[in-house]
Structure 1
Amino acid sequence: MAALSAAHTPAPTAAGLPGALWLYRFDADGRAHALDDAARGAGTLQDADGEDWHWLHLDLSDVRSAQIVAMLPLPEEAHATLLSPDSHVNLQFEDEVAHGVFVDWVHQRGVDLAAEGQLRGDDGIGWLHFAMTDRLLVTARRQPLRSLEAARRAVIAGALADAPVRLLELVAGRFADTVGRSSDGLSARLDRIEDRVLADSIGEERRDLAQLRHQTVRLHRPLTAMRRVLKPFEQRHAGDTDHELLPAVARLNQRFDDLDGDVGTLQERARLLQDEVAAKLAERTNRHLYVLSMITALLLPPSLVAGLFGMNLPGLPFAHSSHGLAFALLLGAASSVVVYLLLRRMGVARST
């Protein structure tokens, strides 16, 4: 019940820091505490006691956030990263300060994260800017971000984060959770489509597979962007430092690798199913054309016979016979039989 109420707890506004969306203090046990208006201010971020640390989140669409960034105890490179309009993933680490940009999903207002789980068709990509020391995590965004909001709700509900790097890993982990759930949902959809294809019950499978492949591409691209940055970062700093960021990056690397492998498998399965559906539809079309061609071939001789007797000219066979119609019908049927036997002899009329 506590988790449910926490999920609907609005984020506290940082009244003493115009342009900030929230400010939390984490105690030595890693529990989050929202700071009241009287405790909020730029000086608060530099006055962490003992093992306490702070999480400040900024709204980059508010021009006042630049004033807050300028007052933060961070190097100029970190200031530039927080305010940059970058739309690509990057991660830098120097002098015990990490800063960069991670990818995230845009959070749709009014969506219940606990109930939604998977991505929707209109969920877009957003960018999480961050800078981190051992006592401060500053995050910033221009659009509401899904994983960031999920992480905020998690720490309010009781999730522990005893260091800024733990919270950053939690945010990235929530991003991975969404990808994983979406991948599982797409896999279940693909299983149902595959069952229908194998049962030769093809209806809207081509459209469904096209949509599914589009969704797998949407999952694959941000995963690739994260892996392209995190893996070289891990290799580059493997022997340089024992900072807690490196084990966190290694864990995220492994998880993103596994997820990207799952998404790649989905893409390959969907492509193979598309090929199989196309082959089955082509076979069905060829079968229909074959039947139509056979009907045309068998009806052509009777049509010629009917046309011949319809000329209404003197000297036509059976013109004065009382059984002329029957003879003409028999002649037309016989011509179809002769054509059919000729086609069978040629191997054309055999079933495919």
Structure 2
Amino acid sequence: MRADDGWIWLHLNLGDQRCLRWLSQSLAVPQGLAVEFTETSQRQYLLVRGDYLTGHLNDFRHEFDRDCTEHAWLHLLMAKNFLLTGRVKAVQSAERLRKDLTHGMVFAGPAQLLSHTIANYPDTLDGLHHALLDELEIIEDHVLDERHRGERKRLMLARREMAQLHRHMRSLRRALVHAERTLPNFPEGLAPVIPRLAHLDQDFEVMEARARFFHDEIDAKLASETNRQLYILSALTAAFLPPTLVAGLFGMNFEGLPWSGSSWGFYIALGLCLLSSAAVWLFLWNASRR
């Protein structure tokens, strides 16, 4: 985008290896700044280097067919007469900015354009926070309705996304707070972003605590269900063990077995099996009442 008063915004695909040479030759960007702009960073920051403002911010990858929360880096380089943004993967902030410009939004200079770009981050994070909150409430309903099977994995995925978003949001907040303290001309449009991020920080902490509580509740329900199943299995094993022993004794092919010559021998042995099972059930029932 080129403005009438002589400044320009360029969004570059840093996957193209020619970007580094083009920055030095066409815009006279110092070699060190050009390298810093095109290289990948591991942290978010905004710094002044001479007459330039440079930085790396964490953005969200832009997908044309679906919403995406995968993180991607937005590279920034600003001077008096231009704002450069770059990416390796398509980012949502550049797409939003393109739509705003298409709809006729006007910016006085590169600083205002940069402020508008970063000011959209809290809106995106707030939308993702509400989406995760809705997911958490659905999980809560299922847990309360005793339909918690499968919800543990679903909750773990939601908690992982919460942690990632919260981590990157805190990093962005630290970068902006540091920039506000150190930059001589901190863009005015970025000042309201910091308290909004602080408020979102508290919202994410509350949501993560709530998710941990649901995780503990699901684990407790699963443990209770497992214990109940083990109790039933133990009771069945204990109930069938005496009849198995009786049947084994009377099934031996030896002389002298009781009632082996009686026509009622089978029924007597069957009665002993039933009586032994009943005795075990009575014992377990009395034990459970204590």
TM bucket normalised to smaller: 0.7 to 0.9
Change in 2 beyond 3 A, CA 1:141/1:300: closer
Question: How high is the TM-score relative to the length of structure 1?
Answer: 0.72
Q: Which residue of 2 aligns with 1:86?
A: 41
- What does residue 104 of structure 1 align with? 59
Query: What is the distance in 2 between the residues matched to 1:63 and 1:194?
Result: 49
Residue 312 to residue 147, structure 1, CA distance change in 2 (3 Å): same
Which of 122, 125, 135 is the matching residue for 1:176? 122
- Counterpart CA distance in 2 for 1:160 and 1:263 is 34
Deviation, structure 1 residue 87: 3.8
Distance 1:147 1:304, change over 3 A: same
Say whether the 8 Å CA contact 2:180–2:186 is kept in structure 1. no
Q: How does 1:9-48 map to 2 (within 5 A)?
A: 23-25=1-3, 48=5
Does 2:10 align with 1:56?
A: yes
Q: Hey, what does 2:169 align to over in structure 1?
A: 223
Structure 2 distance, partners of 1:323, 1:227, is 87
CA contact (8 A) 2:122 2:197 kept: yes
Which residue number in structure 1 is paired with residue 281 of structure 2? Answer: 340
Residue in 1 that maps onto 2:108: 162
Report the equivalent of 1:143: 89
Counterparts of 1:164 and 1:336 in 2: how far apart (Å)? 86
* SS of aligned partner of 2:158: helix
Q: Deviations over 1:35-72 (max 9, x none)?
A: xxxxxxxxxxxxx3xxx643233333334433443343
> Deviation of residue 293 (structure 1)?
0.6
2:141 matched to 1:192? no
- CA shift digits 1:303-341 (9 cap, x unpaired): 222222222433333333333333222222222222333
Structure 1's 342 and 57: CA in aligned 2 closer, same or farther, altered over 3 A? Answer: closer
5+ long unaligned stretches in structure 2: none
1:318 aligns with 2:259: yes
Change (3 A) 1:86 1:312: closer
For residues 209 and 187 of structure 1, what CA distance do their matches in structure 2 show? 11
Number of positions where the alignment pairs a residue of Structure 1 with one of Structure 2: 289
**In 2 relative to 1, CA 299–141 (structure 1 residues): closer, same or farther, beyond 3 Å?**
closer
Q: Which 5+ residue runs of structure 1 have no aligned equivalent? A: 1-22, 28-47
Amino acid at match of 1:291: I
SS at match of 2:192: helix
Cα deviation, residue 195, structure 1: 0.9
Q: CA 1:58–1:328 in structure 2 vs 1: closer, same or farther (change >3 Å)?
A: closer
**Paired residues for 1:58-77 under 5 Å:** 58-70=12-24, 71-72=26-27
Q: In 2, Cα distance between the equivalents of 1:197 and 1:89?
A: 38
Deviation at residue 259 of structure 1 after TM alignment: 2.8
| Partner AA of 2:227 in structure 1 | N
Q: Find the aligned partners of 2:245 and 2:13 in 1 and give their Cα distance.
A: 82
CA distance in 1 between counterparts of 2:121 and 2:166 reads 13
Q: CA deviation at 1:252?
A: 1.9
Assess if the C-alpha contact under 8 Å between 1:180 and 1:259 holds in 2: yes
Query: Are the counterparts in 1 of residues 20 and 35 from structure 2 also a CA contact under 8 Å?
Result: no
Q: Deviations over 1:9-59 (max 9, x none)?
A: xxxxxxxxxxxxxx331x5xxxxxxxxxxxxxxxxxxxx3xxx64323333
Partner Cα distance (1:293, 1:279) in 2: 21
Following superposition, the deviation at residue 253 of structure 1 comes to 1.6
Query: Could you say what the CA RMSD is over the residues aligned between the two structures, in angstroms?
Result: 2.8
**Paired AA for residue 158 in structure 1:** G
Q: How big is the shift at 1:73? A: 6.8
TM-score by length of 2: 0.85
